[in-house]
Structure 1
Amino acid sequence: MTAAVGAVMGLLPHVLHHVGLLGGAVFVTGATGNMLFAVLGIVFSLPLLRRLYRRFGTWKAPGLALAVFALMFSLSAFVIGPAISGGDPAPGPVPVQTPDPAQHDSHHP
């Protein structure tokens, strides 16, 4: 069950673009979407963090789990996501033409 919930939470940002304008383009893109899913990930991991604390009796295990979550979330949000999003490449330099005065004056009477 935990694996299924994790899989759904992992796929959720990638399929919500099918929801429409509010769900796809406005709500889950960019910094807002990253923050939303980071907070949701932390909230949904609270039961696991509590179990880790009870089992080990220290905050080191939950802290390590949060660090791993932050690392994996950052990798997904800032490396894998942009790599598979197929975003527009950065525009190159715009060519500038300098007018040739001889050609310019030739079409004026």
Structure 2
Amino acid sequence: MPHVLHHVGLIAGAAVLTGALGNSVLYVVGLLLSIPLLRRLRSRFGTGWAPALGVALFTALFALSAFVVGPRLGGADAPAPTPAIPSPSVTTPAEHDGHH
């Protein structure tokens, strides 16, 4: 049993990084990791507009990736196929009563 428990970390990590919560976590981590870059932009250009533009660009690209590219790659929006003809295992109430 203890051998199997080390796999829980991967499964729990995957569960945290999916859906809206996962996107939010990754967005915040990306913003935190970009703080040094944003500080350099502010000191280089001497204005707050450069880091604000950097955050806006990061947000736009992250949203594009999370809400457009990701679902298309993952196939999350693909509807489940429905059979046109009922399968043979489906029985009507009359058929059910008839075989008893």
Q: Same fold by TM (over 0.5)?
A: yes
1:68 and 1:87 map into 2 onto residues whose CA distance is 26
For this pair of structures, how many residues does the alignment match? Answer: 82
1:69 and 1:51 map into 2 onto residues whose CA distance is 16
1:88, distance to aligned residue in structure 2 (A): 6.4
1:21 counterpart residue number: 11
State the identity as a percent: 44
User: What stretches of structure 2 of length at least 5 have no aligned partner?
Assistant: 1-8, 85-93
SS at structure 2 position matched to 1:58 = coil
Q: CA RMSD in A?
A: 2.7
Q: Which residue of the other structure, out of 17, 26, 30, is the alignment partner of 1:37? A: 26
Q: Write the mapping of 1:14-93 to structure 2, written as runs, cut at 5 A.
A: 20-24=10-14, 26-87=15-76, 89-91=78-80
1:90, distance to aligned residue in structure 2 (A): 2.7
Length-normalised TM-score, structure 1: 0.63
1:86, distance to aligned residue in structure 2 (A): 2.6
User: What stretches of structure 1 of length at least 5 have no aligned partner?
Assistant: 1-18, 96-103
4+ residue segments displaced more than 2 Å: 86-95
1:44, distance to aligned residue in structure 2 (A): 0.2
1:43 and 1:61 map into 2 onto residues whose CA distance is 17
Choose between structure 1 and 2: higher helix proportion.
1
2:83 and 2:48 map into 1 onto residues whose CA distance is 55
Length-normalised TM-score, structure 2: 0.69
SS at structure 2 position matched to 1:23 = helix
